[in-house]
Structure 1
């Protein structure tokens, strides 16, 4: 019987193709190993190494059990955007890319995103009326 503690549970939703996950194993964190989910079945996810300081980028991993993604073994870095969210995502992306300057500050990006958010809220309120 193993005496090592089991990973802490995570609050992440379902694993989907296209998501980007960081491998949180101690040796993998140091390598900055990032995995992209390419396919999901009932029990496992197929992944490709997207980044790894040790040079394994582009390689396919062995199938990973979905239940591992619900623990602290992996950290969700980037979720996929649902098709229904695409127009809204495009508006936010356009606002972010419109920020000018040689080195825009995080505040300028946040202001652009807030402006779009306020426009969307106003549009929704107008549609409700």
Structure 2
């Protein structure tokens, strides 16, 4: 099993490890069944049940699902996989946004804070490539 993206893509992109999908089968929608992808092969995704209103189902391994099923209305992407580097960058932008002061900050103030973080990241990347 590999953590690399599969060749089959959904409307949201390739099926990847750590994605969270809602099972849209009529009997599963009412149960709010959510599956977390834990491994991807050439043809199937292995998932664990992360959420299910039926007692005792959460935490169980689901049967392998054909990747092409994710390209249909059988599943809906709830949460995409995010790597650690993306989370760190996101946290820096959020910190800049929350650092904007005042009772009624303007969109320009938020944009300026985001631009400052962007410029810092660009400078750090340039320094790392020297």
TM-score scaled by length of structure 2: 0.66
2:93–2:117 contact (8 Å) kept in structure 1: no
Determine whether 1:79 maps to 2:80. Answer: yes
Number of the residue aligned with 1:11: 11
- SS state of the match for residue 50, structure 2? strand
Q: Which residue of 2 aligns with 1:40?
A: 40
Q: 2-side partners of 1:48 and 1:21: how far apart?
A: 10
> 2:71 and 2:113 mapped to 1: Cα distance?
32
Aligned match of 1:62: 63
CA contact (8 A) 1:34 1:51 kept: yes
Q: 2: CA distance between counterparts of 1:76 and 1:114?
A: 29
Structure 1 residues 94 and 49: CA distance shift in structure 2, 3 A: farther
SS at match of 2:68: helix
How many pairs are equivalent? 110
| Separation in 2, partners of 1:31, 1:114 | 41
Unmatched runs of 5 consecutive residues or more in structure 1? 1-9, 100-107
Deviation at 1:117, TM superposition (A): 4.0
Counterpart Cα distance in 1 of 2:39 and 2:28: 22
Alpha-carbon distance change, 91 to 57 in structure 1, aligned in 2, over 3 angstroms: same
**CA positional deviation for 1:84:** 4.6
Change (3 A) 1:91 1:52: same
C-alpha separation in 1, matches of 2:46 and 2:14: 14
Unaligned runs of 5+ in 2: 1-9, 100-104, 126-130
Conserved in 2, the CA contact under 8 Å of 1:91 and 1:116? no
Q: TM-score with structure 1 length normalisation?
A: 0.66
Give the C-alpha shift of residue 122 in structure 1.
Answer: 5.3
Deviation at 1:82, TM superposition (A): 3.2
